[in-house]
Structure 1
Amino acid sequence: MDHFTLRRRALLASAALMAAPAVLRRAQAAEVAGKITVAGWSKPITEITNLLVEPDKGFFKAAGVDLAYVPGAGGGDALRNVLSGQADVAFTDPGALFAALDKGEKLRAIYDIYPQNVFNVVSLKSASIKRPSDLKGKRIGVYSLSSGTRQNLLVLLNQAGLKESDVTIVVTGLLNFAPLMQGQVDATAATDTGLLVGRRKGIGEVDVMAVRDHLNVSSDLFVVRDKFYQDNKPLLRRFLKAYRDSAAWMIANPDEAAGLAMKVAIDGTDRATNLEIIRLRNASAVSPLTEKHGLGTLDVGTLQKAADAYRELGLISQPLRMSDVVANDLLPPSA
């Protein structure tokens, strides 16, 4: 084929593209561009390495999503950032979701990030706090008043017929094992990864009460405003596919993720610790339901039981129908 023919074909193709209807061009552009801002419950920490490695791995870029991350101090903080328009998707806990729904907010849960409950309450052996009833009158640390640590602590207190007023809650921040070791609190509400870091920093022998032994509900979900869900389904589908790909990558490649965490996570200075944290988070991302239907699949029944329990505990006042809130329709088909 001569140079003239090639040039003529190129000009014809260009003319055809220019003649394409404007609506088609807009649709094509929408498929390759769209920004999603995630409001997190934390700063950029090792637990969320799969989100933080976007500049290196490009999971979201490959799906046509421009990803941004807004840090927070607890699941309630993440939801507030979404409700105020500072972000599109909240990385939040079910307790914060239930509280917002109880206040009349219109929200949708679209992805189960961690189907396993990872919260606990930890105390030094010397404190002799072995059961929920032993917490009465004690000072207990939480990440923040809007965090899942506080919500899950209240669930644990209820097991002993205790209320929040029966203890003194102390906001200690994310690295809350230092106040425990220094005697500023008698116990601290944390997560499995928090406990791991505490043990590596020499917390010593401890007693651990796992909330999952009393209520094994998901630890974190992706939640959006209902209007955003209705108006942006194609974009959200691409976002969830990219997130699932990033989570699957971290599950399959924990060593690589641990190395990258040293660069992208504010707490990622020790590779061995990173690896242990990542393995814990990988384990919490799977369940029998996700093994069958794919990562992120939401369990409506479990979330309903949790919402009912929160109402029975007095943590919310309105009955919630989670089938109206949970949306599995945006998830990509399981492989």
Structure 2
Amino acid sequence: MNNIVIVIPSLDPDKRLIDLLISIRKKETDKISIILIDDGSSAEYAHFFDEARKKYDAIILRHKENMGKGAAIKTAIRYFLKEMPDKDGIVTIDSDGQHRFDDVVNCVNVFNGNPGSLVLGVRKFGKEVPFRSRFGNELTSKLLRIFSGISISDTQTGLRVIPRDFCSLLLKTNGERFEFEMNMLYSAREHNIPIIEKSISTVYLDGNKSSHFRVIHDSLLIYSSFIRFSLSSLVSFLIDVGIFAFFMFAYSSRSFLTITFASFLARFCSSVFNYSINQKIVFEGKSSHSISKYYLLVVFQVFVSSYFVTFLHDVSDLNTVFIKIIVDFILFFFSFYIQKRLIFRSE
């Protein structure tokens, strides 16, 4: 354990923070470095941080105002990289007593057996887990699996062992609040950092009332890239369908050639808008040749869309515009995955 630094972000803590530090100091076999981040706590909580420093030898890093869990972890990482060159990584844990020291040790042991890996202490989500935590984790796990191919049972765990080399990369990862932990998983995938899960105890105290997670606001941040992509795609979709519908109204032919021509013209007009928004706002990617890769995807999608619109119109005689809406909606999810993973992926 002495090759790892414990990092504890904290906002307005209570006695459970001190109990956690007592547990660590009692059970440690060698002295463990502890970095405690005061993320803009009110003055009335200052005595907890003072006690942590004086009695339990914790290094206290302070934010003058609340900046978020992600920002707190990044502050600890900067200190760790600069001041602790002999350590192999950090392990982040929550300050409210949800993470047992024995589980921390087990996760670090897994890390020591798999150096360079990101180790997640994952919980089991039974009926005893508060609904908002269970629902939020299940939703993010499914979205992560669909759009990145990463299969993780607990995307929101705060117990993570992070290797030193990955720490440097995380300073460039987007997110200052709870969304940082989700973006960390995307970043691990992008940089080929192995992710290993280790089962830990599931502890929720008082229905998890101590959590500073703001259900609506922080959920929007966690799903921000998908939400921005959806809005961008919706506007592009309306442009696309509008132009396509105009051509279907103007021409009576419903041949594959006519549908393909109308689809290409409509998609070209909508793609100019869509590429600009996705490149600058949605994915914020710096990938080279993104425009050429993007338009290869556009061409592929147009042919696939045109084929299925023509085929379904021939076999069902449904309205072509209606069929196009259904087909393109299905292709929407395929497009999100390709753009995030291949086209706008930061190098």
Shorter-normalised TM range: under 0.3
TM-score, L = length of structure 2? 0.21
Q: TM-score, normalised by structure 1?
A: 0.22
Q: Taking CA–CA contacts closer than 8 Å with sequence separation of 6 or more, which of the two structures ends up with the larger relative contact order? A: 1
- As a proportion of its length, which structure holds more helix? 2
When Rg is computed on C-alpha atoms for both structures, the one with the higher figure is 2
Name whichever structure is richer in strand by fraction: 1
